[in-house]
Amino acid sequence: MAANPAYDPALDAPAEKQPLATRLMYLVRKQPLGAAGAFIVLIMVLSAIFAPVLSPYDPTANDFAAMAEAPSGAHWLGTDQFGRDLLTRIVFGARTALVVGFASALVGGIIGLVLGVASAYFGGRFDLLFQRVMDVFMAFPLIIMALAVVSIFGTGVQNVIIAITIPFIPRCARVVRSSALALREIPYIDAARACGYSHTRIILRHMVPNVMAPFLIMITAFVGQAILLEASLSYLGLGVQEPTPAWGLMLQGGAEEYAESAPWIAIFPGLAITLAVFGFNLFGDAVRDVLDPKLRSQ
């Protein structure tokens, strides 16, 4: 059997033989931007987990003696109009962002994965009809779709997750389907059918694991998008509600009125959103580069 000229065995070598630190250093050298993204994501995750330990203040406690205070030793990023410590609210806001981001991306992605693979596997009229339904959903821009959903279900963290999950489903299903269409023609699927395996078993055990690469790429991209969408919905007053710490909500509460006299109220939550989305995008690109064989060969 001839060797694949596009395959570089050296790419896999460190992962198999070297200790963890070496392998990490190798990845950092190979994907410096991805590593930076992963670092931002890691910081965010750790902040969310250890928020009560890291934050010296209660994120929802009003302190009218410290209303709209500029950054200082006591309040590193200043306070908002209710005297709440901005750093504390940003750190706790990471929880909201991650919960909404991961929940929406995972739920939307997994439903889209199963539906996309099923659509490719069954083909025919089912595929035709299912894809037209997906077309209808895809015709709406992400934010418009989320706005429509939240206006039906109402505001709050759970409803925001639902609102962001629904528009993710067709997007994931469409990408996964295109990968699964190629899989469907591979003989081992025919072999599985010949063995009398059920459709569910063929889809879940034989097809789904083989489309994980595009799926994981989609998921990482979705997390960043979901954080941005959550911030947008909260900014529009349709997402998470006070006093829950959430970055978009922090912008909504202070950006308009205090932009001139207390700009830190808007700047720091804005920076947090930007950094988080930037981090997830870099990380997602790196995941794609590593998992996509075409890009890996380049």
Partner 1 sequence: MKTFAMKTAAAFAVGAALALSAGAPGAAQAATPKKGGILKYVVPAEPPSFDGHRETSFALIHPIAPFYSLLIRVDPSVPYKSGNFVCDLCTEMPKPTDGGKTYTFKIRRGVQFSDGTELTAHDVVATYQKIIFPPQGVASARKAFYVMVDSVTAPDPYTVVFKLKYPSGAFIPALANPYNFIYSKAKLDQDMHWYEANIMGSGPFIFDGREAGAVIRGKRNPNYFHKGKPYLDGFEAIFAKKQSLRVQAIRGDRAAIEFRGFPPKSRDDLVKALGKDITVQESNWNCVLIVTPNHKKKPFDDVRVRRALTLAIDRWGGSKYLSKIAIVKAVGGVAFPGHPLAANKAELQKLAGYWPDLKKSRAEARRLLKEAGVPNLKFELHNRGVDQPYKIVGTWLIDQWKQVGMTVTQRVQPTGPFYATLRKKKDFDVSLDFNCQAVVNPLLDVAKFISDDKTGNNYGNYQDRELDKMFDAMNQEPDPKKQRAIMRKFEKRALDEQVNAMITLWWYRIIPYRSYVKGWYISPSHYLNQQLEPIWLDK
The residues of the shown chain that bind partner 1, judged by CB under 8 A, are 60-62, 64, 67, 81-82, 154-156, 237, 241-244, 256-258, 260-261
CB of 81 to partner 1, least distance (A): 5
CA distance 10 to 297: 12
Of 66 and 203, which has the nearer Cβ to partner 1?
A: 66
Residue 246's contacts (CB-CB under 8 Å, 6 or more residues apart) are 93, 96, 97, 230, 231, 234, 239, 240
CB of 50 to partner 1, least distance (A): 22
Q: Spell out a b/e string for 270-298, using b for 16 or more CB atoms within 10 Å of the CB, else e.
A: bebbeebbebbbbbbbbbbbbbeeeeeee
Of 123 and 237, which has the nearer Cβ to partner 1?
A: 237
CB of 193 to partner 1, least distance (A): 51
Of 37 and 59, which has the nearer Cβ to partner 1?
A: 59
Of 81 and 131, which has the nearer Cβ to partner 1?
A: 81
156 torsion bin: left (phi>0), alpha (psi -120 to 50), beta (else): left
Sign of the CA dihedral running 231, 236, 238, 240: positive
CB of 65 to partner 1, least distance (A): 9
Of 185 and 260, which has the nearer Cβ to partner 1?
A: 260
End-to-end alpha carbon distance in the chain: 23
CA distance 156 to 298: 45
CB of 86 to partner 1, least distance (A): 15
